[in-house]
Each structure stands twice: as structure tokens, then as C-alpha cells.
Amino acid sequence: QVQLQESGPGLVKPSETLSLTCSVSGDSITRGVYYWSWIRQSAGTGLEWIGRIYTTGATSYNPSLKSRATVSADTSNNQVSLELASVTAADTAIYYCARENGGHYWDLWGRGTQVTVSS
Amino acid sequence: IQVTQSPSSLSASVGDRVTITCRASQSIVTSLNWYQQKTGKAPKLLIYGASNLQSGVPSRFSGSGSGTEFALTIDSLQPDDFATYYCQQPFTRTFGQGTKVEI
């Protein structure tokens, strides 16, 4: 079955760049049916969509992140990545990758990874 | 487009019928999704397109509504259903603030 697994540092210093990877198994991220999204959850802001990438490489982002986010794909390793620049304590959250079906809903989620921003 | 859920929490017993509502700030036709989240776990899709049951989800869950008013109903609440529920609209990909269903 298809599985998503997030990985990356659990601690990032303020003003640095947060980098996470989502490894997809059981399906190819190049199959032209799904988008691949990053979503985060914190006690302060709840669930918040960050951005997504399609098989063509086209991306879209939540405007509230003010261009700090970059989502990319490594098709040779079947991975999707997230970079979030200039982080602050407000970026402390659990980060999930999720499969978006037809651009309408997320039908498969990774387990999530906790990221804390602190010096 | 914002979505607002109510109530923010509720207490119920096994066997109860529970209804959670979600209101959109403007018409989203039938484009509303519902998720269940248990403590320490990722959200799980229950209902998409307002009323379509995701594969593998028990039939005691149902969704209804259109325009700006939507509802998630759980018939005969089971012990496994105590969790937090979120609505989500796909146009700007925003979530409601959640409804915690407690014993």
C-alpha cells in the first residue's frame, strides 16, 4: 500500500531554513493523478496548508507564508521536499506530507514530524 | 474563504447521535471535506465533496449540506469515534478550528 514518511531535523534555529523530506513508497509521485502537499499543525494556528507540487513540477503556496516556502520533487528517489526560510518560533509545529486527490482533498497522510524552532 | 465549526467541543455517550456543523464565509457549493484526528495521529479523511464517504469509513458517518451550511453526523457513536473532527474547504485549503468529541 502507499505510504508517506516525513524526515528531517527536529530542531531548527531562528532565522535558519527548515528542510524536510517526504519519502513516498508504493506509488510514483510522477503519476499524473495526485498533488503532493505539506500541511502543518500547531496549537496556535491549528491545521494550515503550506504548499503543494504536481507531477508537472507546478507548485502553489499559502499566501500567508509570504514566499518563505518552497516545495520540490526528487523523482529519481520518489521524494517531495519542503524548505521554509527565515523560521521563527511561530513555525514550531508538526509537519505532515499528504497526498491530494484531484486538487480537492487529502486522502493519505504521513505520520508527521515535530519541528521546534529554538536557539 | 473561511470555515467555522460548531461546537468547539461536545460531550456524548456511546450510542448517541452526534452532529457537527461547519459554516463557510461564502458559498462553496458542495466542496467540503471532513477529517477525524486522534491524539498523536495524522488527520484521516472521512467525507469528501460534502457527502461522499471515503473508502473504508464506517457507514455511521455521513455528511450533508451545500452552499454555506454543512454537517457531519455520527449515528450511534462508538468508543473509537472519540476524537477531534475538522472540516476543510478546498478553494483556499483552509480548515475549521476543530470539534473535540469527548465522553
DSSP B12-30: --TT--EEEEEEESS--TT
What pLDDT sits at residue A8? 95
What's the pLDDT band for A74 if we cut at 50, 70, 90? very high
pLDDT at A31: 83
Q: Which among B42, B90, B98 has CB closest to A105?
A: B90
Contact assignment for B45 to A46 by CB distance below 8 Å: no
* Chain A residues 18-57 within an 8 A CB cutoff of chain B: 46-49
Averaged pLDDT of chain A = 95
Cβ distance A104 to B41 less than 8 Å, yes or no, reads no
Q: Is A61 on the interface with B (CB under 8 A)?
A: no
Residue A51 pLDDT class (50, 70, 90 cuts):
very high
How far apart CA B49 and CA B34 sit, in angstroms, is 9
- Percentage of residues of chain A with pLDDT beyond 70: 100
pLDDT higher than 90, residue A33: no
What pLDDT shows up at residue A78?
96
pLDDT at A102: 82
Q: What is the pLDDT of residue B85?
A: 98
pLDDT value, residue B82: 94
Which portions of chain B are predicted below pLDDT 50?
A: none
pLDDT of A103 higher than 80: no
How confident is residue A113, by pLDDT bands cut at 50, 70 and 90?
A: very high
Average pLDDT over residues A52-72: 93
Kindly determine whether residue B48 and residue A104, on different chains, have CB atoms separated by under 8 Å.
Answer: yes
Determine the pLDDT at residue A97: 98
How confident is residue A104, by pLDDT bands cut at 50, 70 and 90? confident
pLDDT at B21 (0 to 100): 98
Res B47: pLDDT = 97
Residue A61's contacts (CB-CB under 8 Å, 6 or more residues apart) are A50, A51, A67, A69, A71
Q: Across the interface, do A109 and B93 touch by the CB < 8 Å criterion? A: no
Question: What mean pLDDT comes out for the span A10-23?
Answer: 98
